[in-house]
Amino acid sequence: MNSIQDCYSLYNGVNVPCVAFGTWKMPDEVAEVSVACAIQNGYRHIDTALAYQNECGVGAGVRRSGVRRDELFLVSKLPNDDHGYEKAIAACERSLRNLGVDYLDAYLIHWPVLVENQDRLEEDLCNTWRAFERLYADGKLRAIGTSNFLEEHIELIKANFQNYPMINQVQMHPQNPQEEMVAYCQANRILPEAWSPLIQGQAFKRELLIETAAKYGVSVAQLCIRWIFQKGVVPVPKSTTPERIRNNADIFGFSISDEDMEKIATLRTYGMIGNPPSVPRTHQVVGF
Ligand SMILES: NC(=O)c1ccc[n+]([C@@H]2O[C@H](COP(=O)([O-])OP(=O)(O)OC[C@H]3O[C@@H](n4cnc5c(N)ncnc54)[C@H](OP(=O)(O)O)[C@@H]3O)[C@@H](O)[C@H]2O)c1
What confidence tens digit (pLDDT) does each residue in 229-249 have?
999 999 999 999 999 999 999
- Using an 8 Å Cβ cutoff, are 43 and 58 in contact? no
Q: What's residue 114's pLDDT? A: 66
Q: Answer yes or no: is the C-beta of 200 below 6 A from any ligand 1 atom.
A: yes
Please choose from 108, 109, 195, 240 the residue to mutate so as to test ligand 1's pocket, defined by most ligand atoms within 8 A of CB. Answer: 195
Could you say which DSSP state residue 6 is in? -
What pLDDT score does 285 carry? 43
* pLDDT tens digits for range 134-157: 999 999 999 999 999 999 999 999
pLDDT tens per residue across span 252-285: 999 999 999 999 999 999 999 987 776 655 545 4
52 in catalytic set:
yes
What is the CATH code of the structural domain delimited by 7-281?
A: 3.20.20.100
Distance 22 CA to ligand 1 centre (A): 6
Sign, CA torsion 285/116/97/44: positive
Q: How many CB atoms lie within 10 A of CB 159?
A: 9
The average confidence (pLDDT) of the chain is 95
pLDDT value of position 117:
63
Atom of ligand 1 nearest to the CA of 224: 20
Model pTM?
0.96
What does the domain layout of the chain look like in residue ranges? 7-281
Q: Are 104 and 144 in contact (CB under 8 A)?
A: no
pLDDT at 280: 57
d(C-alpha 195, C-alpha 175), whole Å: 12
pLDDT tens digits for range 6-17: 999 999 999 999
Q: Does residue 80 register a pLDDT over 60?
A: yes
